């Protein structure tokens, strides 16, 4: 049960909050609504919506009481006497009807109701774009921005493009809704339809770059704009935010989006100041109600106040014309030790400077924040200086960076490459030059050079960002390069046969590029590792064909050298070799039956018994492709044990060649157990 008693006390549950609202002084109420009166009949009909953020004020001489519509409703508390109530907010292209309403209160605890219709002047097209931070700018931290587009005209907005050009040191993470296109630092959205006096909001999740790319005391500059086609007032179709970068900060603060400076020529075009007030419950318990009070500077026109957003439902009232009070009833902010994100709130509004604001003026504003019944927390002063445009114009845009000396590809063996920025802005422009590589800051020398160190980077693509920033604008260059991992070249050599006689015929020896040879490797064949006895001069031919008659009895080593054509290798040339054994011409190979090789299978060593102490032997281990993977020489013993090293599991051949007689005396099939 709820109701209003004759003594002015309001009882019951209002708006879903469990508390009592009790008047502490005698008062009267003027209340009502503001609505769109499309057909200008002075009555709210079906399909005519209520209008938010319209300041309605009741006045008796210097006594002023006002409130801004929320859900289309307003309520002003007044004293006894005659009060005139009217719409204060300038609503261009609309006429408020009635123009005013008079209320007479002889006693207290009375209520008068009056609703105002906004009657449109047809065919007026005017859109407004606002951009404001919802969080402080701190190096390396995440943040929130909000773009607000308002249709203040009288026709419906159809398929209009909204554009955000961000500071390159602001990293875009996501937005609601998602952008329709992203190109470098420019993001775009399309508004399909927006009715007169309606608003659409784009919430931006961002991250600020870390030092030294972004430092305390820097400004980050971003601009939001909306398509101006057919717009009657294109001056308000874009808004630029110059946000000061803070370090540790008081979470209860107030900031103005122009970065502390506004120029007289902008004021002449109707520029508004955009304020955002942040508050956070840093106490030890839930804050059930938050009240924010802001006494506007005498250099601000209180009749032009327009709300642009808030984190929670509120009621805005005005007292004495320039004292704004926002009441967030039932906001229930948890304390920051329980929920840091949930403990924070904000509100944002815009207001025009007065007509007499002139160069040299400082517009100073603070706010007081009340958490339940605690003493107020005062924000820092938000100071905006008015400067003469002719006396101190903003610096020219810094222009797009230009660099030379950056290659598209680097070998990972390159230690350092020098890149030069050829158009460093003059110091008179107060521009800041920053360079980052893969989001990490790079030191820029006074002559505009900076170093790229491929040897310290992983293989793959890398991004380079060069940014020029001054108080007017930011421009950037995005470039990319690749680091190619250096290859260790390898060449392989095989033969059509490894044991021959004088009747074998031709022996075909083939070299192959196993890795790193490039597109045109060159090969040289020789009988020795020093390549003094060349068998085939350096060239593209990788196959050498020799007749068996050209080999000497016994072991014939063959070497190949590959010269790589690649420019990113650990070596320019690599060598491989094989051995070809030729038996004596008078007899076939005579195997020594008493000669034993074990164990079989083997792991990393072999035992040989049955050798003649008077003879010299060459012992080789060949893989299944016939490639010699191990070789040793033995003499003066009947048996020995030698370590082969570990090889992959598979079938191998042990070849025992008697160098004294020039005969192959044993060929044993063995199996390796592998690396286990």
Which string of DSSP letters, residue by residue, matches 283-297? SSS-EEEEEEEEE--
Tokens of 249: 């900060």
DSSP letter string, 369-432: EEETTSPPEEPPPEEEEEE-TTTSPPPPP-----EES--SEEETT---EEEEETTPPPGGGT-E
Tally the residues of the chain.
Answer: 676
What would be the CATH architecture of the domain defined by 403-484?
Sandwich (2.60)
At 78, which helix (H) or strand (E)?
strand 73-78
Structure letter (DSSP) for residue 589: -
How far is CA 615 from its chain centroid? 75
In angstroms, the CA 565 to CA 575 distance is 15
Query: Which pair of structure tokens corresponds to residue 128?
Result: 């407004």
Task: Round to the nearest angstrom and report the end-to-end CA distance of the chain.
Answer: 85
How far is Cα 444 from Cα 465, in angstroms, rounded to an integer? 12
Say whether pTM exceeds 0.85. no
Residue 241 host element (H or E) = strand 238-244
Give burial (CB, 10 Å; 0-12/13-18/19+) of 533. Answer: exposed
- Spell out a b/e string for 575-586, using b for 16 or more CB atoms within 10 Å of the CB, else e: ebbbbbbbbbee
* Segment 358-379, tens digit of pLDDT: 989 999 989 999 999 888 999 8
* 3-state class (DSSP) for residue 245: strand
CB 87 within 8 A of CB 197: no
CA pair distance 391, 387, nearest whole angstrom: 8
Torsion sign across C-alpha atoms 549, 551, 553, 554: negative
Give the full edge-to-edge strand order of the sheet including 382-387. Answer: 261-263, 382-387, 362-365
Two structure tokens written together for 156: 């419906």
CB–CB of 618/598 below 8 Å?
A: no
Pairing of strands 10-11, 3-4: antiparallel
Q: What is the DSSP string of 500-565?
A: E-TTS-EEEEEEEEEES--SS-EEEEESSTT--SEEEEEES--EEEEEGGGSPSEEEEEEEEEE--
pLDDT of residue 656: 87
- CA-wise closest residue to 547 among 511, 592, 501: 501
**Confidence (pLDDT) at 8:** 38
Shared fold status for 129-239 and 403-484 = yes
567 — phi, psi (to 5°)? -100, -5
How many beta carbons lie within 10 A of that of residue 664, not counting itself? Answer: 21
Q: Where are the alpha helices (DSSP H) in 252-377?
A: 264-268
**129-239 has CATH 2.60.40.10 classification:** yes
Q: What is the CATH number of domain 596-672?
A: 2.60.40.1220
Burial pattern 366-378, b for ≥16 Cβ within 10 A else e, equals bbbbbbeeeeebe
Neighbouring C-beta atoms of residue 442, cutoff 10 Å: 19
251: nearest Cα among 287, 273, 227, 278: 278
Strand ranges, E, within 245-286? 253-256, 261-263, 273-280
**CB neighbourhood size of 120 (10 A):** 20
d(CA 436, CA 438) in angstroms, rounded, equals 6
Which CATH number does the domain 250-392 belong to among 2.120.10.30, 1.10.3720.10, 2.60.40.740, 3.60.10.10? Answer: 2.60.40.740
pLDDT at 266: 82
- The residue with tokens 């060449």 is 491
To the question of domain 3-120 being in CATH 2.60.40.10, the answer is yes
What's the pLDDT score for residue 429? Answer: 66
Q: Which residues contact 500 (CB under 8 A, 6 or more apart)?
A: 507, 548, 551, 580, 581, 582, 583
pLDDT, tens digit, 9 for 90 and up, residues 398-452: 788 999 999 999 999 999 999 999 998 887 667 778 888 887 778 889 899 999 9
The first and second tokens of residue 666, run together, are 């044993």
Kindly list the domain boundaries of the chain, sorted by start residue. Answer: 3-120, 129-239, 250-392, 403-484, 490-582, 596-672
- Separation CA 339–CA 347 (nearest Å): 20
φ, ψ for residue 25, nearest 5 deg: -150, 160
Peptide linkage before 599 cis (omega within 30 of 0): yes
Q: Give which of 168, 226, 230 is closest to 200, Cα–Cα.
A: 226
CATH architecture of 490-582: Sandwich (2.60)
Q: Establish how many alpha carbons lie within 13 A of residue 21's alpha carbon, considering only the half-sphere containing its beta carbon.
A: 15
Omega before 657 cis (within 30°)? no
Handedness of CA 150, 221, 254, 65 (dihedral sign): negative
- Walking along the chain (676 residues) 10 residues at a time, the average pLDDT comes out as 37 37 71 94 93 91 90 93 93 92 95 95 89 86 92 88 91 93 90 90 92 81 88 86 76 84 83 90 91 94 88 89 92 90 89 90 93 90 84 68 93 94 80 82 89 93 85 77 93 88 86 93 95 95 92 90 94 92 63 75 87 88 81 88 83 86 81 76
DSSP state letter for 234: G
Instruction: Give Cα separations from 264 to 158, 361, 531, 666 (angstroms).
Output: 34, 10, 84, 103
Residues 91, 69: Cα–Cα separation, whole Å: 13
């Amino acid at each position: 049960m709820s109701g209003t008693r004759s003594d002015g006390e309001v009882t019951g549950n209002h708006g879903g909050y469990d508390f009592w609202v009790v008047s502490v002084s005698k008062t009267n109420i003027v209340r009502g609504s503001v609505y769109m009166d499309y057909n200008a009949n002075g009555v709210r009909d079906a399909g005519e919506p209520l209008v938010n953020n319209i300041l309605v004020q009741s006045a008796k001489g210097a006594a002023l009481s006002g409130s801004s519509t929320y859900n289309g409703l307003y309520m002003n508390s007044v004293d006894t006497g005659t009060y005139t109530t009217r719409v204060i907010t300038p609503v261009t292209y609309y006429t408020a009807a009635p123009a005013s309403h008079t209320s007479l209160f002889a006693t207290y605890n009375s209520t008068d109701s009056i609703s105002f219709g906004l009657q449109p002047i047809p065919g007026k097209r005017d859109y407004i774009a606002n951009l404001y931070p919802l969080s402080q700018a701190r190096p390396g931290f995440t943040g929130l921005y909000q773009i607000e587009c308002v249709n203040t005209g009288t026709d419906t907005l159809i398929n209009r493009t909204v554009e955000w050009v961000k500071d390159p040191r602001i990293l875009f993470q996501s937005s609601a809704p998602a952008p329709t296109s992203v190109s470098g630092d420019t993001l775009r959205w399309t508004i399909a339809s927006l009715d007169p006096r309606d608003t659409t909001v784009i919430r931006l999740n961002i991250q600020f770059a870390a030092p030294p790319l972004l430092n305390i005391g820097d400004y980050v500059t971003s601009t939001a704009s909306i398509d101006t086609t057919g717009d009657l007032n294109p001056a308000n179709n874009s808004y630029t935010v110059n946000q000061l970068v803070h370090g540790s900060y008081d979470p209860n603060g107030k900031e103005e989006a122009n970065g502390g400076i506004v120029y007289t020529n902008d004021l002449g075009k109707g520029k508004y100041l955009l304020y955002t007030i942040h508050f956070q419950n840093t106490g030890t318990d839930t804050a059930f109600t938050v009240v924010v009070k802001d006494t506007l500077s005498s250099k601000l026109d209180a009749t032009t106040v327009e709300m642009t957003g808030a984190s929670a439902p509120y009621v805005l009232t005005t007292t004495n014309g320039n004292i704004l009070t926002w009441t967030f009833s039932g906001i229930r902010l948890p304390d920051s030790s329980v929920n840091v994100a949930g403990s924070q709130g904000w509100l944002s509004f815009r207001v025009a400077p007065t007509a007499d604001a002139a160069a040299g003026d400082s517009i100073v504003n603070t706010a007081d924040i009340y958490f339940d019944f605690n003493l107020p927390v005062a924000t820092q002063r938000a100071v905006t200086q008015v400067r003469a445009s002719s006396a101190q114009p903003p610096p020219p845009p810094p222009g797009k960076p230009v660099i030379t000396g950056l290659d598209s590809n680097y070998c990972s063996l390159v230690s350092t490459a020098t890149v030069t920025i050829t158009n460093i802005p003059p110091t008179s422009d107060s521009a800041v030059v920053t360079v980052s590589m893969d989001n990490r800051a790079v030191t820029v020398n006074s002559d505009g050079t900076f170093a790229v160190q491929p040897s310290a980077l992983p293989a793959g693509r890398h991004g380079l960002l060069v940014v020029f920033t001054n108080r007017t604008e930011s421009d950037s260059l995005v470039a990319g390069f690749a680091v190619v991992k250096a290859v260790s070249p390898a060449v392989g050599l095989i033969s059509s046969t490894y044991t021959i006689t004088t009747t074998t015929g031709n022996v075909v020896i083939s070299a192959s590029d196993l890795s790193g040879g490039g597109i045109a490797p060159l090969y040289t064949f020789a009988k020795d590792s020093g390549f003094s006895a060349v068998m085939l001069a350096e060239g593209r031919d990788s196959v050498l064909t020799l007749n068996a008659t050209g080999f000497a009895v016994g072991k014939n080593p063959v070497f190949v050298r590959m010269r790589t054509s690649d420019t990113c290798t650990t070596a320019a040339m690599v060598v491989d070799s094989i051995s070809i054994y030729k038996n004596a011409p008078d007899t076939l190979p005579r195997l020594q039956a008493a000669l034993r090789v074990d164990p079989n299978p083997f792991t990393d060593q072999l035992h040989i018994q049955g050798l003649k102490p008077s003879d010299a032997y060459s012992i080789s281990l060949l893989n299944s492709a016939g490639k010699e993977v191990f070789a040793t020489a033995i003499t003066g013993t009947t048996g020995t044990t030698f370590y082969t090293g570990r090889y992959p599991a598979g079938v191998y051949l042990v070849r025992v060649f008697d160098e004294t007689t020039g005969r192959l005396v044993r060929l044993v099939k063995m199996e390796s157990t592998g690396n286990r």
